Every structure is written in C-alpha cells, then in structure tokens.
Amino acid sequence: MKVTITTLNDEIFVLDVSEDLELENFKAFCEIESGFPAKDFILNYNGKPLLEDKKSLKEHGVRDGDVIVLLHMMQTASNLNQTDSSQALPTGLANLDFSGIRVPPGAASTSMAARNPPVEEDPRIIREMFLANPDQLALLKQNNPRLADALLSGNLEAQRMIAEEIRQKNIEANMEAAMEYNPETFGTVVMLYINCHVNGFPVKAFIDSGAQTTIMSAACAERCNIMRLVDTRWAGIAKGVGVQRIIGRIHMVQMRIEKDFLTTSFSVLEEQPMDMLLGLDMLKRHQCNIDLKRNVLRIGTTGTETPFLPESELPECARLSGYSEDEIVNQSMRDHEERQVKEAMEKSKQEAGGLLSLRPTTSGQSAPVPMQINNQRMVLGDPSQTIMPNDNFGEPEVEEIMSLGFTREQAIVELRRFNGDKTQATVALFAKSLKF
C-alpha cells in the first residue's frame, strides 16, 4: 500500500510499504526520506501520535492512500525557543520554580490539535499531495475524471469538491465501522403493542410514552360501539408528526388488560391509522412500567403484566414487512394509471362538451365507452386491462403474451414495466410463475 508523508515545511513523499510493516521499521524508511533521525520526530495520524513501535501499520489503522504527518521535534523546539528569547523576562522571574504547577490532562493535546489541524481536512494539502504524486493523480483521473479536472484547475470549485470527497470518505468510514462493531444499529425494531378489550371488543393498543394523551380512531370507536359517547365540544386539532382533526372526547370508558378493568378516557381522531394509542396520561395514572428486558407492560397499581405482541400479531399499519417490492411497484403503477385515466376523462369532457355516457349491458352493469383522444382510440375502464395512449405497445403484443397462458392484466403490467419490450416482459412473467 502507498502512504503519503508530509512535514510542517510542506515536504511530501510517498512510501510504498506493506500493511504488516512494524511502526519502527516504517520510521526507518521515513528517516531515510526526510533526513531526520527517528528519535527526533513523531508520526501523527488522524490527529493522534503513533507510539507503539511493535504494532504494524494495519493495527494502527493506517490504510492505502492515507496521509501521515511527520513532526520534527527539534525544529518545533527551536521555534519555541526563538519565540521565547524574543521576550525578555522581568527581573527575578528567571529564578522562580514552576515545576509544581500541573498541566490539566488533555490540555497539551488540545493545544497541539488546535495548532495542527488534521491534514486530511485541508483541501490545499490534499491538492499539493496529488500534484506531487503522478501515480495517484493518474488513478484519480481514471476513477473520478470530474474531480481530477477540477483539481488541476486550482480554483475554489476544486477545493470545494475535494472537501466534499473528504467528507464523504469520512462518512463511509464511519458507516463501515458502525457495520463492523455495532451492526445492531442498522436493524429495525417493532413497535410496542398489547392486546386489550374496550367495551368488550378486542383492540390492539399501541404503547406510546411520548404521546401526551390517549387517543382512538373514529373507526375503532364505531367498532367498539362507543361513538355515541363522543363529546364534540372537545373537538380541535392534534399536532405532532402531522396534523389531524379531533372529533371529540370520550370522558370515561372501561378497558380490560388481562384480568384488570381500568378506567380511561379517549380523544377520538378522524383519520388515525392506529386503532388505539395509550399515551402518557393513561400510563402515569396507572403507574405503568415498560419492561423491555422481559418484553412486558407492567401495571403498577395492580401488578398485572401483559406481553408485547410479536411482529406477526401486529396490525397491518405497524408491520415491518407489509408488502413485497413487486406489490409496491404494481400499486404505484396502478395509481399512476388511474391518474392518467382521470386526466384523459377530464380532457375528453372538455373536448366533447361535457357529454359522456355509459352503455348499459345485459348484466345491468355499465360497459366501457370507446373514446377518441389525441387521434387514438381508447376504452375507459380498469387501467390494468386497458392500453393507454402513451403505452409503447399495442394489442398484438398483449395477445401474444396472453397466448402463453398469462392474463391480460399481467401482460399489460409487465409490458408497461419494461417500456413495451415484449421479450423482457415475457421472461419476467415466466420467472414469477416458477415455483421452487
């Protein structure tokens, strides 16, 4: 691997070494290239000195393409002495003993970091490093031509792009470290639900200690036969992640959890996706304890425990794996097609003077009506059964796929998915029909 060494005098050289090379041997290479004795300099990597000589570069975290700063201690000391000698000490201060003063831990390292910011954060140093290394510059031209052109131009845009590349590299390194050492952070946990009964009807309640009040959806209130108890004088607006309309409040309802009968109140929301949400008012009133170690909700006033539901028993709105990818894609396509049909109908109404009719069939249902739109003939009806004006295929392609045993809806959906490519649509349909 190639490691770039830079000094405070802007001297840059590149060493091609093995990642298993020990630090003391790496210092010997640096001594040859820089001309400084190994005992007189310190290697600084990512703002921290490399101290353990018997560890390899890999164990120190050094990777291919990284930058290490060589700090010449004799030069630094001479600079400090010159600064100090320029300021004469008052009489008598030279004889004072300052050895008893203790420097706070980390103060020296903080001041050193402030004087020497990490080289990898300075776009100017990175640009000079690439310009001094033709091999790295050629590799950059191959992997990222746009960044290489901006680098050679030397303008502010180049510095901005280099800084962005450095930032992205740090983000990727952070994510890789998280995936290696804390992979559990990338998982998704299921929400906390319990089984309960409201007015004798079973309900799956969501436990949310971040909600201020206990709420219920209007649909669940209808199902539990308590909509008649809603006091509309308490109507209003509920604000949180979104904004929803509060229909009113049910002041007192009996709720059963396991064998305990608890009294609670609900704010009824008009379009709440969850049936019921137990908020902080209910949890504090009955001194509930969310025990994640045992995965139970403990009611403090009675001591009763009820388990949290597994993902398989959660309602549809709370499941992690609700729909497959194909179902989501097909639903999105159907929504798009429905919007196109509505737009076509509106346009047709304007062209035909608002006259649209449906022919009754013998079964009593309305049959699709042929329409002329943009000089193309189409039939109003189910979009998944109809060839739209902007489709890149026609009836012969649909009939040919249907002759292979597939339905008209399947043929049209796959042809739209592959932009009218009959071969790809046929292959996709056969692949979906295989059973392993």
> How much is the pLDDT for 189?
81
pLDDT given for residue 334 in this prediction: 63
Q: How far is CA 71 from the centre of its chain?
A: 40
Identify any residues that bridge with 246 across adjacent strands, giving them in sequence order. 236, 269
Written as six digits, the tokens of 425 are 């649509």
The model carries a pTM of 0.41
Task: Identify the active-site residue in 66, 135, 208, 281.
Answer: 208
CA neighbours closer than 13 Å in the CB half-sphere of residue 302: 15
The 3-class secondary structure across the chain, one letter per residue, is CEEEEEECCCCEEEEECCCCCEHHHHHHHHHHHHCCCHHHEEEEECCEECCCCCCECCCCCCCCCCEEEEEEHHHHHHHHHHHHHCCCCCCCHHHCCCCCCCCCCCHHHHHHHHHCCCHHHCHHHHHHHHHHCHHHHHHHHHHCHHHHHHHHHCCHHHHHHHHHHHHHHHHHHHHHHHHHHCHHHHCCCCCCEEEEEECCEEEEEEECCCCCCCEEEHHHHHHCCCHHHCEHHHCEEEECCCEEEEEEEEEEEEEEECCEEEEEEEEEECCCCCCEEECHHHHHHCCEEEECCCCEEEECCCCCEEECCCHHHCCHHHCCCCCCHHHHHHHHHHHHHHHHHHHHHHHHHHHCCCCCCCEECCCCCEECCEEEECCEEEECCCHHHCCCCCCCCCHHHHHHHHCCCCCHHHHHHHHHHCCCCHHHHHHHHHHHHCCC
Could you confirm whether 208 is annotated as catalytic?
yes
Q: What is the pLDDT of residue 306?
A: 95
Beta bridge partners of 373: 376
Averages of pLDDT over runs of 10 residues in the chain (436 residues) are 82 85 87 82 84 86 86 58 45 48 47 45 66 76 74 65 79 88 82 93 92 91 92 83 83 92 90 88 92 94 93 78 48 63 68 45 42 41 71 87 86 87 82 60
Burial class, 62, CB count within 10 angstroms (exposed 0-12 / middle 13-18 / buried 19+): buried
d(CA 286, CA 194): 16
Tokens representing 146 are: 């746009």
Question: Closest Cα partner for 78 from 10, 137, 142, 9?
Answer: 9
pLDDT, residue 429, reads 82
Instruction: Write down all domains in the chain, each with its CATH number in brackets.
Output: 2-77+114-180 (3.10.20.90), 193-318 (2.40.70.10), 325-350+368-433 (no CATH)
What is the C-alpha separation between 347 and 66, in angstroms, rounded?
Answer: 62
pLDDT number for residue 248 = 93
Cβ-based neighbour number of residue 311 at 10 Å: 13
State residue 376's pLDDT score: 39
The pLDDT, as a whole number, for residue 113 is 43
